[in-house]
Chains A and B, each alone.
Chain A
Amino acid sequence: MTSRPTRWFVRLSVLLLVVLSASPAFASSIGISVGAPETVTVGQQVEVKAILVEDGQPVVGAEVALTYQTTFGGRSGSVELATATTDESGVALMVYEQRAAHNDELQIVYLGPGTDPVDSYSFSITVAEGGAQLYQSESGVEIPFVNGTLVILVISLVWFLIALAAIRLVQVGKAGRVGKLVSDDVGEEGSMWIGVALASAAIFTAVGMVIVFVRAPVSNTDLTDPAVYDRTPIGYIDATYPYEGFGLADTSSAETGDPVVDGKALSLQYGCAACHAPTGLGGVVGVDLIEEVGSFNSFVEDVREGPKGMPAYSESSLSDADLQKIYDFLKARE
C-alpha cells in the first residue's frame, strides 16, 4: 500500500496543513484518509474531514458517513453522527457535536455511489477532561456552605438546645436532693435518674442523628464515576434497532424441564410480562391473558399477528415450542 505514486501525496500534504492530523488508509481502489482533531472537549463542534482518493484522483460526489460503534442495552451497533458528500477536491466535511465524555471508535463509512467495496476507516478522538457536560453529571447547584453544612449546623443547634433543657431538668433534680425538705410530710428523698435518662437520651439521639447525617452518602451510586453511573447513549431518529424483546429473565432459567416454570420464564424473557404483568393477569396496557386466552391455535395466531398494537412475534423470534410452554403456564394459572 505504500507503493503509491507521490504525485497526489504533494497535494494532500497541503490539506494536511489545514487539518490537525491525518493518516491514510486504503482499501480496494478508493483510499480514505481523515483529518480530525486529536482531542476535543465536550460541547465542542468537531470538524472531521474525510479525503477520498482513487488512483491519485480525488473522488467527487461520493457520500460518506461518520459513525461510531457503541453498545446499547447489551447490543452493539453503529450510530451515525453525520453524513456528507465529497467536493471537487475529494473532501467531505462533517461536523458533529461532542456530547459524551468519552468516545468509542469512530469510523468513516463509504456509502456510495456504486457498490465498490470500500473498507471503512477507523480512528479515534480523545475527549479532554474538564469540558462542560451537555447533561448534568451532578444533580443540583452546589452552593458553598448552604448544601449540607448549614443543615448540619441547624440540626446541631436545635439538639444542643434540647439537650440543654434536659440538663436543666437534671439540675432541678439535683437541687432538690441537696436542699432542705420544705416540710416533714414531704416523702422520703426521691430520685433524679429520670432527668439523667432524659438528658442522656436527648444527647444520644442528637449525636446519633448528626453522625447519620454526616456519614450519609451523597448518593448510593457514584454519580461522578461513568463506570457505575452513565447516561444512556443517545438514540437517533431513523437509526434502526431490530426488536429483540425486553428480557426480564435469564434464558437459562427457562430450561428447567417443567413447562409451566419454563413458560413463566419465557413470558418474562420475551416481554409478555411487560404489558400483561408477570402473572399474566393483565396490566395497564395488555389484557388479562388468563381470562382471554382461548385455544392454543388462536393463541399462536394472535401472537403471530399482534392484535391491538401488540408487537407481532414471527416464528423465528418466538418458536412454537416456546409458545407452547407459555401457553401451558397460562393454562396452569387458570
Chain B
Amino acid sequence: MDTMTNWHERLIRKTTRPTLVTTYRYWVWVAFLVAIVANGVFQYSKQWSEGLYVTGMRDRISWGLYITAFVFFIGISHAGTLISAILRASKATWRAPITRIAELITAVALVVGASFVLIDMGRPERIFNVFRYGRWQSPIMWDVMAITTYLTASVIYLYAPMIPDLALYRDRLANKVGFIRRFFYETVALNWRGLPSQVRFLGKAITIMMLLIMPIAVSVHTVVSWIFAMTLRVGWNTSIFGVLFVAGAIFSGVATLVLVMATLRRMYHWEEYLTPKHFLYLGYLLAAFAGFMIYVNINEYLTEGFKLEESGEFAFRQLFIDDFAAMFWFYVIGGLIAPIVIMLIPKTRTVAGVVVAAILVDIAMFLERYFIVVTGLRVPLMPYEPASYAPTFIEWSIFIAGVALFLLLITIALKVLPMFAVWEMTEEHELAIARQTEPVLQTGYEGPAPGVSGSPGPDGLTEGGLS
C-alpha cells in the first residue's frame, strides 16, 4: 500500500537520483560535449584572429548561421514562459512536474542565444560601445535591453520556485554530497524553513515574476523580429513578423521541452511523473501552434503575393521554387502539417509520436529561421546578380558547439539542481487526494485517502500552501 509519505519519499528519491548517482556514461557524455564545445572555441579563435572573412558572410549576405542560431535559441527560451508562467497563472495542475525543466531551458537557451550575437560580431571587443554610444532609436538596442531584462527575469523566475527544493536538497543531501555542493545548497536555499512568512514572501515573488515574465517574453521575440521588420528588405518588411516570431518561438520552445523531457524520462526512469498525459498535452499544444503558424504564413504570403511587386517575385521564386524550396516545403509539410496529422491519428497519438513531431518541429523551425535570415538578404536591391551564402566549416563548428553548450549546461544543472518542483508536485498530489479525485499524477495509489492533508512533512515542505 502506497501512503502519502511513501509517495513523497519516492518522489524525493527519484528527484535526487541524478544528483547523487553519477554513472560513467554521464562522464562520457560530458566529455563528448566538452570536446565539441572546445572545438567550437578553437574554431572561434581562428575567426577572432582572421575576422569574419573565415565565414561565408560577405557584404551583401551579412547574416547567416550565427543570427539563425541566435533567433532559434532565443525562440527556444520561450518554452519556460508558456509552460511555466501561463500554466501556473491559469492554475493548470498538470504542469507541476514539467515547470522546472521548462524554466531551466529558458535560462540556458537565453545564455547560448545571446552569445551568438557576440560570435556574429566582427569586432566583439567593441561590444561596450553599445553602452557608450548606443542609441535607443536603434532596434539593436531594443534587443539588448529586452534580452537583458528577460535573462534577469527568467533567472529569478527559475530560482524563486526552486528555493524550497534547494532547501530540501540542503537538508537531505547534507551528508551525501561534497563540501562544494553542500555550501552551494546552504547558500542558495536562502534559510528556507517553510515558515509562514517565508511562504508568503516567496509566493509574492513568484506571483510578480509569473505575471511579469509573460509580457517580457512576448516583447523579447517581437523585438528580435523587429531587427528584421524595421528594415525595408523584401520579405522582412512586414507587420506580421512579431506575431510570426512569438508564435514560432513558443512552438519550437514546446518542441524542445518535449525532447528534453523525453530524454530525462528515459534516462532517470521518471515515467511516474512525466506521464504520457504530459506528452499528449504538449503534443496538442504543438498541433495548435502548428495550426496558428499555418494561418500566419498564409496571411503573410497571400497578402504579399496577391499584389506581387517586382522584387517580391524574386523573393517568392527563391523560396517556393528555386534555391530554398526544399527548406521551405520541409518547413510547411514536416514542421507545420505533420505535427497536426500526428496528433489527429489515434495510433500515432503516443509519447513516441509526440517526440517525432517535436523533432520535426525543431528542425523545421531552425530551417525557417535560416531561410528568413538568408532569403531576405539575398534579394538584390539593385540590378545585380543575387549573392550566395553557405556556412563554412568554422560556422558549422561554432553552431554545433552552441548546441553542445546548451546540452552541457542542462547536463551540469542535472547534477546540481532539483529537476522537479517537489513542493508543487506534493501540493498537487495532496490536493488531488483531498478532493477524493483521481490524482493528477499517475501513482500507484490505491488505498483510501488520508484524512489530513496538511500534515507537516519531515522537511516542513507541506507547511502552508503556496499559490
Which residues of chain A have a CB within 8 Å of any CB of chain B? Answer: 148, 151, 155, 158-159, 161-162, 164-166, 168-169, 171-177, 179, 181-183, 185-187, 189-195, 198, 201-202, 205, 209, 212-213, 216-220, 284-285
A161 touching B197, Cβ below 8 Å: no
In the complex, whether B205 has a CB less than 8 A from a CB of chain A is yes
A175 touching B201, Cβ below 8 Å: yes
In the complex, whether B51 has a CB less than 8 A from a CB of chain A is no
Chain A residues whose CB sits within 8 angstroms of the CB of B160 once the complex forms: 165, 169
Q: In the assembly, what is the distance between CA of A164 and CA of B211, in Å?
A: 13
Chain A residues whose CB sits within 8 angstroms of the CB of B189 once the complex forms: 190
A218 touching B135, Cβ below 8 Å: yes
Least distance between A299 CB and chain B CB atoms (Å): 25
Chain A residues whose CB sits within 8 angstroms of the CB of B148 once the complex forms: 205, 209
Return the chain B residue nearest A285 by Cβ. Answer: B384
Least distance between B447 CB and chain A CB atoms (Å): 27
B156 touching A202, Cβ below 8 Å: yes
Q: In the assembly, what is the distance between CA of A291 and CA of B103, in Å?
A: 57
A172 touching B156, Cβ below 8 Å: no
B145 touching A209, Cβ below 8 Å: yes
In the complex, whether B74 has a CB less than 8 A from a CB of chain A is no
Return the chain B residue nearest A196 by Cβ. Answer: B190
Given contacts A190-B191, A191-B191, A198-B159, are A171 and B136 in contact (CB under 8 A)?
Answer: no
B135 touching A219, Cβ below 8 Å: yes
Interface set, chain B 134-165, CB cutoff 8 A to A: 134-137, 141, 145, 148-149, 152-153, 156, 159-160, 163
Least distance between A312 CB and chain B CB atoms (Å): 23
Instruction: Determine the main DSSP class of A at the interface with B.
Output: helix
Q: In the assembly, what is the distance between CA of A273 and CA of B197, in Å?
A: 73
Give the contacting residue for B191; candidates A185, A189, A220; CB below 8 A. Answer: A189
B212 touching A172, Cβ below 8 Å: no
B208 touching A176, Cβ below 8 Å: no
B192 touching A176, Cβ below 8 Å: yes
A212 touching B134, Cβ below 8 Å: yes
B188 touching A175, Cβ below 8 Å: no
Interface set, chain B 286-314, CB cutoff 8 A to A: none
B131 touching A172, Cβ below 8 Å: no
Chain A residues whose CB sits within 8 angstroms of the CB of B163 once the complex forms: 169, 172
Give the contacting residue for B195; candidates A165, A166, A179, A189; CB below 8 A. Answer: A179
B152 touching A176, Cβ below 8 Å: no
A166 touching B191, Cβ below 8 Å: no
A177 touching B205, Cβ below 8 Å: no
Q: List 30 A-B contacts (CB under 8 A).
A: A162-B152, A166-B156, A169-B205, A171-B197, A172-B205, A173-B191, A175-B191, A175-B201, A176-B192, A177-B191, A179-B191, A183-B458, A185-B171, A186-B171, A186-B193, A187-B186, A190-B186, A190-B187, A190-B191, A192-B190, A194-B190, A202-B156, A213-B136, A213-B145, A216-B134, A216-B135, A220-B133, A220-B135, A284-B384, A285-B384
Question: With contacts A158-B216, A171-B201, A187-B170 known, what are 12 further pairs, Cβ within 8 A?
Answer: A162-B156, A165-B209, A168-B205, A176-B195, A176-B198, A179-B197, A187-B174, A193-B187, A198-B156, A202-B152, A209-B145, A209-B148
A175 touching B197, Cβ below 8 Å: yes
Chain B positions 363 through 385: 1 when the CB is less than 8 Å from some CB of chain A, otherwise 0 = 00000000000000000000010
Chain A residues whose CB sits within 8 angstroms of the CB of B201 once the complex forms: 168-169, 171-172, 175
Chain A residues whose CB sits within 8 angstroms of the CB of B191 once the complex forms: 172-177, 179, 189-192
Q: In the assembly, what is the distance between CA of A122 and CA of B189, in Å?
A: 85
Q: In the assembly, what is the distance between CA of A166 and CA of B205, in Å?
A: 7
B156 touching A190, Cβ below 8 Å: no
A187 touching B171, Cβ below 8 Å: yes
Return the chain A residue nearest B216 by Cβ. Answer: A158
In the complex, whether B114 has a CB less than 8 A from a CB of chain A is no
In the complex, whether B204 has a CB less than 8 A from a CB of chain A is yes
In the complex, whether B460 has a CB less than 8 A from a CB of chain A is yes
Least distance between A134 CB and chain B CB atoms (Å): 22
Q: In the assembly, what is the distance between CA of A72 and CA of B174, in Å?
A: 78
Q: In the assembly, what is the distance between CA of A213 and CA of B141, in Å?
A: 9
Least distance between A149 CB and chain B CB atoms (Å): 12
A173 touching B190, Cβ below 8 Å: yes
In the complex, whether B202 has a CB less than 8 A from a CB of chain A is yes
B208 touching A172, Cβ below 8 Å: no
Q: In the assembly, what is the distance between CA of A310 and CA of B145, in Å?
A: 48
Return the chain A residue nearest B456 by Cβ. Answer: A182
B193 touching A181, Cβ below 8 Å: yes
In the complex, whether B339 has a CB less than 8 A from a CB of chain A is no
Return the chain B residue nearest A220 by Cβ. Answer: B133
In the complex, whether B194 has a CB less than 8 A from a CB of chain A is yes
Q: In the assembly, what is the distance between CA of A182 and CA of B190, in Å?
A: 15
Q: In the assembly, what is the distance between CA of A159 and CA of B156, in Å?
A: 12
Give the contacting residue for A172; candidates B187, B192, B384; CB below 8 A. Answer: B192
Chain A residues whose CB sits within 8 angstroms of the CB of B192 once the complex forms: 172, 176
Give the contacting residue for B149; candidates A162, A181, A192, A198; CB below 8 A. Answer: A162
Chain B residues whose CB sits within 8 angstroms of the CB of A155 once the complex forms: 145, 149
A217 touching B202, Cβ below 8 Å: no
Q: In the assembly, what is the distance between CA of A80 and CA of B195, in Å?
A: 86
Q: In the assembly, what is the distance between CA of A179 and CA of B190, in Å?
A: 13
Chain A residues whose CB sits within 8 angstroms of the CB of B156 once the complex forms: 162, 165-166, 169, 198, 202
Q: In the assembly, what is the distance between CA of A219 and CA of B174, in Å?
A: 57
Chain B positions 312 through 327: 1 when the CB is less than 8 Å from some CB of chain A, otherwise 0 = 0000000000000000
Least distance between B5 CB and chain A CB atoms (Å): 16
Interface-central residue, B134, B190, B191, by most chain A CB under 10 Å? B190
Q: In the assembly, what is the distance between CA of A7 and CA of B160, in Å?
A: 100
Q: In the assembly, what is the distance between CA of A207 and CA of B170, in Å?
A: 34
B202 touching A169, Cβ below 8 Å: yes
Chain A residues whose CB sits within 8 angstroms of the CB of B170 once the complex forms: 187, 190
Least distance between A12 CB and chain B CB atoms (Å): 55
Q: Closest 6 CB pairs between A and B?
A: A176-B191, A168-B205, A173-B190, A165-B208, A175-B197, A171-B201
Chain B residues whose CB sits within 8 angstroms of the CB of A219 once the complex forms: 135, 137
Q: In the assembly, what is the distance between CA of A237 and CA of B460, in Å?
A: 86
Q: In the assembly, what is the distance between CA of A189 and CA of B187, in Å?
A: 10
Chain A residues whose CB sits within 8 angstroms of the CB of B141 once the complex forms: 216
B216 touching A169, Cβ below 8 Å: no
Q: In the assembly, what is the distance between CA of A284 and CA of B58, in Å?
A: 12
B186 touching A191, Cβ below 8 Å: yes
Q: In the assembly, what is the distance between CA of A182 and CA of B195, in Å?
A: 8
Q: In the assembly, what is the distance between CA of A186 and CA of B463, in Å?
A: 15
Q: In the assembly, what is the distance between CA of A160 and CA of B93, in Å?
A: 30
Chain B residues whose CB sits within 8 angstroms of the CB of A175 once the complex forms: 191, 195, 197-198, 201
B198 touching A159, Cβ below 8 Å: no
